[in-house]
Amino acid sequence: MAFDIEMIKKVYSQVADRVNAAREVTGKPLTLAEKILYAHLWDGKAETAFVRGKDYVDFAPDRIACQDATAQMALLQFMQAGKNKVAVPTTVHCDHLIQAKLGADKDLQSALNSSSEVFNFLESVSNKYGIGFWKPGAGIIHQVVLENYAFPGGMMIGTDSHTVNAGGLGMVAIGVGGADAVDVMAGMPWELKFPKLIGVKLTGKLSGWTAPKDVILKVAEILTVKGGTGAIVEYFGPGATAMSCTGKGTICNMGAEIGATTSTFGYDDSMERYLRATDRADVADAANAVKEHLTGDAEVYANPEQYFDQVIEINLSELMPLLNGPFTPDLSTEAGSDMTEKAKANDWPIQVEWGLIGSCTNSSYEDLSRASSIAQQALDKGLKTKAEFGINPGSEQVRYTADRDGILSVFEKLDAKIFTNACGPCIGQWGRYEDPKNAPKNSIVHSFNRNFAKRADGNPNTHAFVASPELVAAIAIAGRLDFNPMTDKLINEEGQEVMLDEPTGWELPPKGFEVKENGYMEPVEDGSNVEVVVDPNSERLELLTPFEPWDGKNITGAKLLIKAFGKCTTDHISMAGPWLRYRGHLDNISNNCLIGAVNAYNKKTNFVKSQLNNEYDGVPNVQRAYKAAGVPTIVVGDHNYGEGSSREHAAMEPRHLGVRAVIVKSFARIHETNLKKQGMLGLTFADENDYDLIQEDDTFNFLDLDQFAPGKQLTMEIVHTDGSTDTIKLNHTYNDSQIEWFKEGSALNLIKKQNV
C-alpha cells in the first residue's frame, strides 16, 4: 500500500470538478500541466484564467521532498517558523553526504563516521515535526520518491532541482529553495509565476542503442540550457506512451538542465505497471478511476500548436545515441565519427578513463539491466574494460533486487566498483584525486545529468560527457570517446574482432521487486518531547539568526564585490563537493561564496579588488571586510545567472555576508526566487549593454528604491572614479508579496511575524 493514500484519494476526489472549472474559465481544452496546476490552486476551483509567464499564482502542493544537503538549511529555517508539525507530507533523504571512493560498504561507514552529527540532527528534527526519514544508504532521493511517493496528477515541490524526476509518473514536481519548502511546511501557499508551456511530440519508437536519455539530450541540444526557463515541458504522442515509466523519469529529470520549471507525461499503461510493481496497486486503481483528467485533452494533442507556446517534434525511430558535453549539458554529438571530428577539433581527450552509471537520472532497475547486458557481452566475448567502471544503484530496493537477479555480479566480474545507493560522483562526492585542482586532463562518460567543470571530481581538466547507461557501458569497455557500438569492432583477449550486440533488459524485474530493509523511519505521532540538539561549537550546524529588515532608505555608496564573467552557475556561487559538510552552517559555508565565479577584470577566480584598501583577495574575505566596515555591495552577472542546482545557499551566503543586490542580464528561475526569499534584490539590466558600463572601482547609488513597486523600474546611478556618472534602469519581477519579503528582511521573517 502507498504512503499517504488518503491524501492521494482526496486529490483525485477533487480533480474532476477543478479541471472542469478550469476548462470553463479558460474556454478551451487543457494540457496535462494546466490540469494539474488548476487542480492545485490554493483558493480551490479556478475563477479566472491565468496569463502564462505573467501572473503569479498561489498553489497548494501535495507533498515535499528534501535531500540531506539542502534539508539542513530548510529545517533550520522551519524551526524558526513556530509550528509543531509540517502541514503536508514531507520526507528527508540522506543521499548527498556519502563520498564514492572505495565501494559501498566502506564508503557508507565512512559517511556515518564523518557526518553522524548531521544525520542525527536530520533524524531528530524529522521525528519531532512529523517528517518521514530515509537513512543513509536507503537511496537517491528522486529514485526513492518515484518508487514510493510520486503519483499521477499530483503536485510536489522539493529542495533539489531534480525533483522534476517525478514527472515520469505524471506529476508536476518542481525544484525549489528551502525557503519555499518552509512556506508549504508551515501551511502557507506556494507562489509560482504561471508557467509557459512547451509541448514535445514524440513519434516513432526507441530501438537498438537509442534510449530515453537520448531524447532529453536531443531536447537539450534544441532548447539549450536556458530554453525551457519559465516553462513546463509536456511530452506526448505514441513515442511517449511506448516508453517505460523510469525512462520518462530520466527525461523529466534532465529537464532541469534546460531550465524548465518541470517536465511531465500523461498517465498511461507504463505508469500503471510501475505503480503495481512498486506495491501501489491502490494508487493505480484510484488513478484509473479519474484517468481522463490525468493526461492532456485529446484536442490538445491533436492540434498542439494551438495550445502550447512552443512545439517540438522528435521521431524516436530516427534518433541516434548521443553524448552531450563537455562542460555543458546541451552540446550534443552523435556517437562515432562526429565525435572523432569534434574531439580532434577541440582537443578533447579521446581516451576515456572512467565510465559511471547511476545518479538520480539513470539508476533504475531497467537502466542497470540494460547496461549489464552490455557488460555480460564483454564477459562472453572475451573483452575487458579499458576504462574504470563505477555503478551507483538508485535505491536499496533497486540494489537488492538487482543483486538478487545477478545484475550486480555481472558488473563486478568486469571489476566495476559498486558504490553506495547515493549521489556520489554526480554531485562531486567522488574521492577520485588527492589533489583535484592539479589533476591531469582527461575524459569521462557518465549517465548523470550535469557535467559542469569540476562537477564530478573537482578537476577543472576533466571533460565529462553525458550519455545513456548502455552507451556508457560500451564506451567504458572500448575506452574511446568516439566508439560507435553500432559499427565499430573491438579486439578481445584472444586477438579476435568482435562487436557488441544491441542492449536488452527488463522494464521491471521479472520476479518483482524485493528488499529486506528499505531504510525508512516513520516519525512518532507526537514529537513534542523529541529534543533537537545543536552544539553551539559545531562546525557543521548552526542555528540561524534572522536577517535584518530593510530600513526603508535608498541604498547608496555601494561597492562592487565581483562582476562575474560568462557562465555563473550555483556551482560557481556555492560549490558542492567538500563544501557539502558545511551545508548546515551558514557562516562556515559562506567561505565558498562566489569563489568559482570568474572576475571579469582579471579572468581569475576568487581574486577581487577591495575598495577599502585597493588590494586583491578572495571574494569572501573582501566581502567580510566590507560588511565589517558597513559598506553595502552588489554583484553583477551575465545571462542565466544561477543556473543549476536549487541550493539556496547560493542566495543565503551573499545575503549573510552583506551583499544587497545581484544585478544580471538574466536569471535562472530557481535562483531568482531564492534571492527574493532571502530579502535580496535580484534585478536585471533593462539594457543588457549596461553590463559593460560597470567598472571595477565604481560606486553605486539606488535613486528610487524607496518607491519600490511591482512593474516599476528601479534607477541606479553609477559613479566612476573619474567623477563621471551613468544612470541606468533596472528591471525586476517582484510582486507586492515579494516586496514585503524584501522589506521584512526575508520571507521567513514575514511568516514568523504572521504566526505570532
Question: 269-277 and 281-289 are packed helices; what angle lies between their axes, rounded to 10 degrees?
Answer: 150
Question: Cα angle at 271 between 262 and 282, to 5 degrees?
Answer: 115
The whole-angstrom separation of Cα 28 and Cα 364 is 38
- Tens-place pLDDT, residues 612-656: 999 999 999 999 999 999 999 999 999 999 988 767 899 999 999
Segments of 435-503 assigned E as strands: 442-446, 462-466, 490-491, 497-498
Supply the DSSP symbol for 541. Answer: B
Contacts of 298 (CB under 8 A, 6+ apart): 29
DSSP string over 253-280: HGGGGGTBSEEEE---HHHHHHHHHTT-
633 touches 623 (CB < 8 A): yes
Q: What is the mean pLDDT of residues 491-520?
A: 97
231 touches 196 (CB < 8 A): yes
- pLDDT value for 707: 97
- Local confidence band at 669 (pLDDT 50, 70, 90 cut-offs): confident
Question: Alpha carbon of 750 to those of 42, 177, 672, 678, 742: distances in Å?
Answer: 19, 16, 19, 11, 9
Q: Of the CATH numbers 3.30.56.10, 3.30.1280.10, 3.40.50.10090, 3.30.499.10, which one belongs to the domain with range 322-429+438-498?
A: 3.30.499.10
Q: What is the mean pLDDT of residues 139-163?
A: 97
Percentage of the chain beyond pLDDT 70 is: 100
Residue type, 116: S
CB atoms within 10 A of CB 557: 11
**3-state secondary structure at position 689:** helix
Residue 755 has pLDDT above 80, yes or no: no
Cell 516513520 found at: 522
- Tens-place pLDDT, residues 364-414: 999 999 999 999 999 999 999 999 999 999 999 999 999 999 999 999 999
Cell 552577472 found at: 637
Question: Alpha carbon of 490 to those of 160, 348, 615: distances in Å?
Answer: 41, 22, 58
Question: Cα angle at 395 between 40 and 387, to 5 degrees?
Answer: 125
208 touches 501 (CB < 8 A): no
Rounded to whole angstroms, the maximal C-alpha distance in the chain is 79
Q: What is the mean pLDDT of residues 263-277?
A: 98
Q: What is the mean pLDDT of residues 703-730?
A: 98
347 touches 443 (CB < 8 A): no
**3-state secondary structure at position 667:** strand
Q: What is the mean pLDDT of residues 706-728?
A: 98
Where b means 16+ CB within 10 Å and e means fewer, 616-650 reads bbbbbebbbbbeeeebbbbbbbbbbbbbbbbbbbb
CB atoms within 10 A of CB 94: 27
**3-state secondary structure at position 209:** coil
Segments of 70-131 assigned E as strands: 90-93
**3-state secondary structure at position 31:** coil
- Local confidence band at 537 (pLDDT 50, 70, 90 cut-offs): very high
Contacts of 569 (CB under 8 A, 6+ apart): 452, 642, 643, 644, 645
Supply the DSSP symbol for 243. Answer: S
Question: Alpha carbon of 560 to those of 572, 610, 611: distances in Å?
Answer: 18, 9, 8
In 3D, which of 426, 430, 457, 428 has the Cα closest to residue 441? 457
- pLDDT value for 650: 95
- Tens-place pLDDT, residues 558-575: 999 999 999 999 999 998
Question: Cα angle at 162 between 160 and 163, to 5 degrees?
Answer: 75
In 3D, which of 395, 394, 385 has the Cα closest to residue 362? 394
585 touches 538 (CB < 8 A): yes
From the DSSP assignment, how many helices (H) and strands (E) are in the chain?
Answer: 24, 30
The whole-angstrom separation of Cα 701 and Cα 287 is 56
Q: What is the mean pLDDT of residues 43-58?
A: 95
Residue 420 has pLDDT above 80, yes or no: yes
**3-state secondary structure at position 657:** helix
Where b means 16+ CB within 10 Å and e means fewer, 240-265 reads bbbbbbbbbbbbbbbbbbbbbbbbbb
| CATH superfamily name and code, 5-315 | Aconitase, domain 3 (3.30.499.10)
The whole-angstrom separation of Cα 570 and Cα 572 is 5
DSSP string over 370-430: HHHHHHHHHHHTT---SSEEEE--SBHHHHHHHHHTTHHHHHHHTT-EE--SS-GGGGT-B
pTM of the predicted model, to two decimals? 0.88
CATH 3.30.499.10 location in the chain: 5-315, 322-429+438-498
The whole-angstrom separation of Cα 394 and Cα 660 is 40
The whole-angstrom separation of Cα 78 and Cα 84 is 10
Task: Find the helix or strand (DSSP H, E) in which 198 lies.
Answer: strand 196-203
26 touches 39 (CB < 8 A): no
Residue 1 has pLDDT above 70, yes or no: no
Quick one: cell of 601? 577584470
- pLDDT value for 533: 84
Give me the phi and psi of 287, to 5 degrees please: -65, -40
Q: Strand pairing of 681-685 and 659-664?
A: parallel
In 3D, which of 320, 328, 478, 463 has the Cα closest to residue 389? 478
354 touches 384 (CB < 8 A): no
The whole-angstrom separation of Cα 216 and Cα 330 is 9
> On the CB side of 527, how many CA atoms lie within 13 Å of its CA?
19
- pLDDT value for 748: 87
DSSP string over 696-722: TT-EEEESSGGG--TT--EEEEEE-TT
739 touches 750 (CB < 8 A): no
Q: Of the CATH numbers 3.90.1010.10, 3.20.19.10, 3.10.180.10, 3.90.380.10, which one belongs to the domain with range 558-755?
A: 3.20.19.10
- pLDDT value for 751: 84
Task: List, by residue number, the catalytic residues.
Answer: 95-96, 160, 450, 645, 647
Residue 608 has pLDDT above 80, yes or no: yes
CB atoms within 10 A of CB 597: 25
Average pLDDT of the chain is 96
33 touches 49 (CB < 8 A): no
The whole-angstrom separation of Cα 196 and Cα 230 is 6
Cell 484519494 found at: 9
Cell 502541514 found at: 87
DSSP string over 115-177: HHHHHHHHHHHHHHHT-EEE-TTSB-HHHHHHHHT--TT-EEEESSGGGGGGGGGT-EEEE--
Contacts of 531 (CB under 8 A, 6+ apart): 124, 128
The whole-angstrom separation of Cα 221 and Cα 333 is 9
The whole-angstrom separation of Cα 109 and Cα 631 is 46
The whole-angstrom separation of Cα 250 and Cα 359 is 10
Residue 756 has pLDDT above 80, yes or no: no
- Tens-place pLDDT, residues 228-243: 999 999 999 999 999 9
Q: What distance lies between CA 668 and its chain's CA centroid? A: 12
Residue type, 271: M
Residue 670 has pLDDT above 70, yes or no: yes
Least confident of 414-428, 601-615, 637-651: 637-651
The whole-angstrom separation of Cα 477 and Cα 381 is 12
- Local confidence band at 464 (pLDDT 50, 70, 90 cut-offs): very high
Residue type, 296: G
* Residues pairing with 584 in the sheet: 541
- pLDDT value for 644: 81
CATH 3.20.19.10 location in the chain: 558-755
- Tens-place pLDDT, residues 68-119: 999 999 999 999 887 899 999 999 999 999 999 999 999 999 999 999 999 9
